[in-house]
Chains A and B, each alone.
Chain A
Amino acid sequence: MTARETEIATYNFAYLDEQTKRMIRRAILKGIAIPGYQVPFASREMPMPYGWGTGGVQVTASIIGPDDVLKVIDQGADDTTNAVSIRAFFKKVANVAVTTETAKATIIQTRHRIPEHPLNTGQVLVFQVPIPEPLRFLEPRETETRKMHALEEYGLMHVKLYEDIARHGRIATTYAYPVKIEGRYVMDPSPTPKFDNPKMHRSPALQLFGAGREKRIYAVPPFTEVVSLDFEDHPFEVQTFDQPCALCAAENVHLDEVILDDHGGHMFVCSDTDHCEKRRADGHRGSLAPETHLALEKTEPAQ
């Protein structure tokens, strides 16, 4: 290897250089101190594409230490390709222990879901966020939306939601459903289904949000009021599913529809794969569950 090849091959612990980490850490502290406010930060190019979790990865890289146990999920599942890829990245650059078990993780990086298993004090949930500005689809200009947040002027959002009701009889927003934090900032919960919104409210875990391409970090501290926007005559409701998980028989969880054939055959299974596997290991059986259960969850210690 030439000197340059060696140089390229050596990256700092958790990939980011220390100055970048300090900059992100300062932004995280401000985000925690001003819940729901989007702190601008000088997002770096990461070795994965913008839109593929660079914000979440930068946040995780800035908080993670050698004693942490990391779980990465995408769509609730540990085995989706991008989750696998991000987990492998941290195993490589930070050599941390990784797990699929929600309860064993100290840091959980997620895209589009909050785990079904209740989170604990001391856990940190890191969300990957594509468009952090909840008002962006109503007003594309940053200069304008920043003013709206400054003046706490959220009328536009209420008008939008109300138009939904007038036109469709209900609020036609099913994911990235806007929330208000501690009665002040309207915040985008990232594109999680609104099913997960109630889990954010007064969660014992610290919730951090990273938007790499849009260069924003925000936070919801533990035990913080997270209220989904609604109207008195049209209160916020979460999705309900008509049937339990076909594998573990869980109810009141978020289900994925899986197509079984091309004649309209389908089944509904837990989107949270860890939760589903745990329940099956405990003997719960859904209508389409295989006879024997293979334990799939795993924890790999740091090398």
Chain B
Amino acid sequence: MDIATRSIEGGFAEPVFNAQTVFRATMDAMARPGSIQALPPLAHPPAPLSATAGAMALALCDNDTPVWLDPRLQAEASVKAWLSFHTGAPSANTPADAHFAIVANPAEMAALDGFSQGTQEYPDRSTTLILLIDDLASGPSLQLEGPGIEKTAMIAPVGMPRHFVEQWKQNNQRFPRGVDIILAAPGSLACLPRTTRIKTMEA
């Protein structure tokens, strides 16, 4: 298939209801950090963009939200074409301009503080990171605390950014500024809003 064809196919079959399903799963995940929300494959973007991350983009991005793609996604012209066709989202020139950043290779990604952190007056003007993760259960365990968590929660995402726990602690310290993370795994997702504290991490 050529790029033009691939960029047109693979959108939501039912745009209104699919977008609601994806948003609701994301909202629940953001409200209950560490909880894993199931999400059937509603979008079929070109690789290496995953079904889950593609669906997030369709549900949340549009002309008003510059999107930044990491080099692995950037390298695939079909991914850019697909996102552009289905969402109309402009591409962000730098991570700091991005409302959303989609990262296919989190282990190699740039530092969290390179993305928009929002301002003290408008902390909402920050980047939301969508990280493509292979699974949420077989990586090093992260014990989580904070709003949305009754006592503690646990997730174990594979292939997180380098020095993630340290970087996340700094992200916590910038509160109310800071980035929020959506972990997009095959068939499921979880969120780490900036309020979530990582208690311990298994070696």
Contact = CB atoms under 8 A, between A and B. Distances in A.
A62 B128 CA distance: 19
Contact of A206 (B31, B99, B126, B193): B31
B141 interface: no
A25 B195 contact: no
A275 B193 CA distance: 35
Contacts of B180: 29-30, 33
A222 B32 CA distance: 7
Interface in A9-35: 12-13, 18-19, 21-23, 25-35
A32 B31 contact: yes
A221 B32 contact: yes
Interface stretch (B20-28, B75-83, B131-139): B20-28
Contact of B124 (A18, A34, A185): A34
A63 interface: yes
Interface of B: 15-17, 19-21, 23-24, 26-28, 30-32, 59-62, 64-65, 99, 119-124, 126, 128, 147-150, 175-176, 180, 193-195
A167 interface: no
Contacts of A121: 32
A121 B31 CA distance: 10
B27 A26 contact: no
A122 B28 CA distance: 8
Contact of B148 (A27, A122, A151, A224): A224
B147 A182 contact: yes
27 contacts: A13-B16, A21-B19, A22-B61, A25-B59, A25-B60, A26-B60, A28-B27, A29-B27, A30-B126, A30-B180, A31-B124, A32-B27, A32-B148, A32-B193, A34-B123, A34-B124, A39-B124, A40-B122, A147-B121, A150-B120, A182-B147, A184-B175, A185-B176, A204-B150, A220-B147, A221-B32, A225-B147
